[in-house]
């Protein structure tokens, strides 16, 4: 039995990842800011749910305490919750980093004691190639012309945070992931992206790799990406 927590799992890639991991036999906890919405989603896909707001210390602590009480450990954490701000102002920057970076830190720190009890622990952070300096400076890449500065900066930080966690915790696999351009509520204004089921498969592949899987990488569906 593999116990998995996914943040921001009531819609988009998070929801579809939860659905696919339930189908793969995981005990999946849907992390949801709105407890009632989380309950409905979990019932629909055969998962469990915890109220979890990645910007709130008490919410995160309570969610991990609930999982500990019910399962005793955590095998897989998917840091999926994220926001995409399109402005340059300090308020937008604060929201971007509070969710996309500090939220990853807050949840991961709370989850580490449970992850350390697993025989094969894995943390997958849904990041973005928009945060890759290589991709953003390569004219042939779509990231070169993508103008989402705060999103890109926060995802660069999330990928670096993932690398540092991997170095500090050799017994746990930590990887950042570019899931692919996906049509979600977050990207609706851009009118781009493929179905969420396809991108969720990329998350699931990395989340289900065994003890010999990679750690300290930024990947997409084709393998390791340059940073």
pLDDT in tens, 83-122: 999 889 999 999 999 999 999 999 999 999 999 999 999 9
pLDDT at 182: 58
pLDDT at 197: 87
Q: Is 52 helix (H, G, I), strand (E, B) or coil?
A: coil
- Taking CA atoms, 189 is separated from 77, 106, 131, 185, 192, in Å, by 29, 29, 20, 8, 8
Which domains, and CATH codes, for the chain? Answer: 3-224 (3.40.50.720)
The question of whether 151 is a catalytic residue gets the answer: yes
What are 119's strand-pairing partners?
none
Strands 122-126 and 217-220: unpaired
- Of the residues 29, 144, 151, 165, which is catalytic? 151
* Helix, strand, coil abundance in the chain, percent, nearest 5: 50, 15, 35
User: Which residue ranges of the chain lie beneath pLDDT 50?
Assistant: 183-184, 187-188, 194
pTM of this prediction?
0.93
């Amino acid at each position: 039995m593999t116990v998995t927590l996914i943040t921001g799992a009531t819609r988009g890639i998070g929801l579809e990842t939860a659905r696919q991991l339930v189908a793969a036999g995981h005990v999946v906890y849907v992390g949801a800011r709105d407890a009632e919405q989380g309950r409905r989603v979990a019932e629909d896909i055969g998962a469990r749910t915890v109220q979890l707001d990645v910007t709130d210390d008490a919410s995160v602590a309570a969610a991990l305490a609930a999982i500990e009480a019910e399962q005793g450990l955590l095998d897989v954490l998917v840091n999926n919750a994220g926001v995409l701000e399109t402005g340059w102002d300090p308020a937008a920057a604060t929201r971007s980093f509070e969710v996309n970076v500090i939220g990853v830190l807050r949840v991961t720190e709370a989850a580490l004691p449970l992850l350390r009890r697993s025989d094969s622990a894995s943390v997958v952070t849904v990041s973005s190639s928009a945060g890759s300096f290589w991709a953003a400076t390569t004219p042939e890449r779509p990231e070169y012309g993508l103008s989402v500065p705060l999103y890109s900066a926060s995802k660069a930080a999330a990928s670096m945070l993932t690398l540092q966690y991997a170095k500090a915790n050799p017994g746990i696999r930590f990887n950042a992931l570019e899931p692919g351009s996906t049509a979600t509520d977050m990207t609706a204004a851009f009118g781009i992206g493929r179905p969420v089921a396809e991108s969720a498969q990329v998350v699931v592949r990395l989340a289900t790799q065994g003890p010999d899987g990679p750690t300290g990488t930024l990947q997409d569906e084709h393998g390791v990406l340059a940073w």
